[in-house]
Structure 1
Amino acid sequence: MDEDLRKRLHLAAASHRPDRARMLARIERGMAGDPPARTARPPRRPTPWLRVAGAAVAVCGVLAAGAFAVTQTGSGQREGGQRMAAPPAPVSDGPAGGGALPAESGPLRSDGVVDPHSNRYWAQNNVTVTAARPLTGLTVEIRVALNGGVVSTGFWRSLPEEDFTASAREEGGFLVYRWTLKQGRSVPPGTHTFAGQYNHAEGTRDAGRDDYTARADASGEQSLVGGDFAPKG
């Protein structure tokens, strides 16, 4: 390069003044412009394990909802949403608390005793009723307190079995034996025995709470007697 050209270049460079306003405007226009569009990618399909996990979560939700519904409606209710009533307690057909009743009334007389053949493991409570005239109705009840491991082993009566409806059940803390004369049957005059048998824990059992009652009908005359099984004399 010759000396003359070099001087001209230096002179042109020294005299150049850049247009800052135009440069800034160009930069601003470039920044304000929309960015170049990016190529959209197709959506990725979920991996198989994600689909399985999602299905498991849905099933768990359904099961949880079902369990909650059962918890809310299943307890103490039957179909239709109605609450089932508790079964009624048994009601005694005959009078209770015989120890406070008289042993004799009208044509009926009674007595109660623990059978002398009872032993350390087994006992029998006997009730005798004496009718002065025929009875057209009779209900006898023996109550044995449920103490000392009492368990029924049977019962009997001296009158014909087919004349009575008999039962043995636990009611209100007692083992209750009950005999009821059937409709159309009668009891002849005389002394008749009713007995309830039971096992108990080894030893002498306390019969102080045991009692009996007897209700009779003699041609329209009502009689009610009762007592306990305490030793006599």
Structure 2
Amino acid sequence: MTQLRSLLEGAQGLLIDRRHFEPSGLERTFVIRINEGAAASLTPALVRRIAAEAPNIVIRCFVEGNEDVESLRNGTIDLDVGADPLSSSDVCSEILYRERHVGLVAKSSPLARSAQPSLAQLCEHPHVSTSRRGRTHGPIDDALAAVGLRRRVIAVVAALVAAALMAADSDLVALVPERLARYFAARLEVAWFAVPTELPAVIIHQQWHGRLDHDPAHRWLRGHVREASV
């Protein structure tokens, strides 16, 4: 079934007049596999943009889990948006943005009073860690160990959004991508701050199969994903 969908989409792309492409008349479902942190901060703007131009488009998102190339090849998904590049000669890729991890706490936390608490101050408060594999150790722990410090992780969750919500409703510290922190700070009683050490940057890509590279509808979708990421 997925191979048939892929063939039909390829045929549909050939039939669309590239010179007179009108998204308003398009009826199509785009399936996007997306990093759940990016989904929270990116998809609201994306869906608003798409709906304004093409009311008959459906955006179906699901979170990462099995970041395989085959799902792009066989048409199971149309677009992959996430931090893990897929190394394959038949997959096209574009960097959408780079960002850093920041600390997120409830506004009632003492850490919310500083634009950049020290590493020692971070270790005075319990942490919630994010790991799909249930790990309590991450890059921040290596940075802390290098200066003789250690944080206390009392909870581990699989999703960044869950970690952010836990921080909002407790005395926990969550480390999340800055865009997600900004998104929640505008909507919840939380504050975010810079972490005073070098942590690996988060690089978010959008990736698609080469057969869709020149498909007008898919190029239009990618353009909106790009603009929603600004």
More strand by share: 1
Whether the TM-score (by the shorter chain) exceeds 0.5 is no
Larger radius of gyration: 1
| TM-score of the two chains, using structure 2 as the length reference | 0.21
Q: Greater helix share, 1 or 2?
A: 2
Bigger RCO of structures 1 and 2 (CA < 8 A, at least 6 apart) = 2
